[in-house]
Structure 1
Amino acid sequence: MNICMFTNTYLPHVGGVARSVSSFAEDLQKLGHNIMIVAPTFPTDEAHLEDHNVLRVP
Protein backbone atom coordinates (compact mmCIF):
# COMPACT_ATOMS: atom_id res chain seq x y z
CA MET A 1 0.00 0.00 0.00
CA ASN A 2 1.20 3.55 -0.68
CA ILE A 3 0.99 5.69 2.46
CA CYS A 4 1.64 9.42 2.70
CA MET A 5 2.12 10.97 6.14
CA PHE A 6 1.91 14.75 6.65
CA THR A 7 3.57 16.30 9.68
CA ASN A 8 4.40 19.79 10.92
CA THR A 9 7.77 18.66 12.30
CA TYR A 10 10.16 15.84 11.52
CA LEU A 11 13.70 14.71 12.15
CA PRO A 12 16.28 16.03 12.89
CA HIS A 13 13.99 18.03 15.21
CA VAL A 14 13.43 15.96 18.32
CA GLY A 15 9.97 15.65 19.78
CA GLY A 16 7.04 13.33 20.24
CA VAL A 17 5.50 13.95 16.82
CA ALA A 18 8.79 13.48 14.94
CA ARG A 19 9.56 10.28 16.83
CA SER A 20 6.06 8.88 16.33
CA VAL A 21 6.01 9.58 12.59
CA SER A 22 9.47 8.06 12.18
CA SER A 23 8.49 4.98 14.20
CA PHE A 24 5.21 4.47 12.31
CA ALA A 25 6.98 4.89 8.97
CA GLU A 26 9.68 2.39 9.93
CA ASP A 27 7.18 -0.22 11.12
CA LEU A 28 4.92 0.20 8.08
CA GLN A 29 7.91 -0.03 5.74
CA LYS A 30 8.94 -3.31 7.41
CA LEU A 31 5.46 -4.63 6.58
CA GLY A 32 6.09 -3.88 2.91
CA HIS A 33 4.29 -0.56 2.52
CA ASN A 34 5.68 2.37 0.52
CA ILE A 35 5.96 5.43 2.76
CA MET A 36 6.22 9.10 1.82
CA ILE A 37 6.56 11.73 4.54
CA VAL A 38 5.73 15.36 3.78
CA ALA A 39 7.37 17.69 6.28
CA PRO A 40 8.40 21.33 6.42
CA THR A 41 11.91 22.54 5.93
CA PHE A 42 13.26 25.09 8.36
CA PRO A 43 15.94 27.72 7.63
CA THR A 44 18.12 26.32 10.42
CA ASP A 45 18.04 22.74 9.08
CA GLU A 46 21.38 21.28 8.15
CA ALA A 47 21.73 18.63 5.47
CA HIS A 48 21.10 15.18 6.91
CA LEU A 49 20.33 11.71 5.66
CA GLU A 50 16.68 10.70 5.51
CA ASP A 51 15.67 7.18 6.56
CA HIS A 52 12.49 7.28 4.49
CA ASN A 53 11.18 9.08 1.41
CA VAL A 54 10.77 12.60 2.75
CA LEU A 55 9.48 15.52 0.74
CA ARG A 56 10.49 18.82 2.34
CA VAL A 57 8.26 21.79 1.63
CA PRO A 58 8.83 25.44 2.58
Structure 2
Amino acid sequence: MSTLAAEALPSARPRLDHEPSRATTFVFLALLAIGLGYTAWSLTVDIGAAGVHPTT
Protein backbone atom coordinates (compact mmCIF):
# COMPACT_ATOMS: atom_id res chain seq x y z
CA MET A 1 0.00 0.00 0.00
CA SER A 2 2.81 2.45 0.72
CA THR A 3 4.22 2.21 -2.82
CA LEU A 4 0.79 2.72 -4.34
CA ALA A 5 0.14 5.76 -2.16
CA ALA A 6 3.58 7.21 -2.90
CA GLU A 7 3.01 6.92 -6.65
CA ALA A 8 -0.35 8.67 -6.43
CA LEU A 9 1.05 11.77 -4.66
CA PRO A 10 2.52 14.55 -6.79
CA SER A 11 6.22 15.16 -6.43
CA ALA A 12 7.20 17.99 -4.08
CA ARG A 13 10.41 18.61 -6.00
CA PRO A 14 10.76 21.54 -8.41
CA ARG A 15 10.74 20.65 -12.11
CA LEU A 16 14.19 21.96 -13.01
CA ASP A 17 14.41 19.99 -16.23
CA HIS A 18 11.57 21.99 -17.86
CA GLU A 19 11.76 25.41 -19.49
CA PRO A 20 10.15 28.23 -17.48
CA SER A 21 6.89 29.54 -18.88
CA ARG A 22 6.66 32.87 -20.70
CA ALA A 23 4.85 34.38 -17.74
CA THR A 24 7.64 33.35 -15.37
CA THR A 25 10.28 34.79 -17.69
CA PHE A 26 8.31 38.03 -18.08
CA VAL A 27 7.82 38.44 -14.32
CA PHE A 28 11.51 37.76 -13.65
CA LEU A 29 12.69 40.26 -16.27
CA ALA A 30 10.17 42.87 -15.15
CA LEU A 31 11.27 42.59 -11.52
CA LEU A 32 14.92 42.72 -12.58
CA ALA A 33 14.31 45.88 -14.63
CA ILE A 34 12.37 47.50 -11.78
CA GLY A 35 15.17 46.69 -9.34
CA LEU A 36 17.87 48.08 -11.62
CA GLY A 37 15.82 51.21 -12.31
CA TYR A 38 15.23 51.77 -8.61
CA THR A 39 18.95 51.32 -7.91
CA ALA A 40 19.92 53.85 -10.59
CA TRP A 41 17.29 56.34 -9.38
CA SER A 42 18.33 55.91 -5.75
CA LEU A 43 22.01 56.44 -6.56
CA THR A 44 21.19 59.56 -8.59
CA VAL A 45 19.11 61.04 -5.77
CA ASP A 46 21.75 60.22 -3.15
CA ILE A 47 24.59 61.71 -5.21
CA GLY A 48 22.52 64.84 -5.84
CA ALA A 49 21.69 65.17 -2.15
CA ALA A 50 25.38 64.89 -1.25
CA GLY A 51 26.21 67.82 -3.51
CA VAL A 52 28.74 65.85 -5.51
CA HIS A 53 28.75 66.08 -9.28
CA PRO A 54 29.70 62.90 -11.16
CA THR A 55 32.74 63.26 -13.41
CA THR A 56 31.85 60.66 -16.02
Same fold (TM over 0.5): no
More helix by share: 2
**Bigger relative contact order, structure 1 or 2, given CA contacts below 8 A and separation 6+?**
1
More strand by share: 1
Give the number of the structure whose alpha-carbon radius of gyration is greater. Answer: 2
TM-score, normalising length: structure 1: 0.33
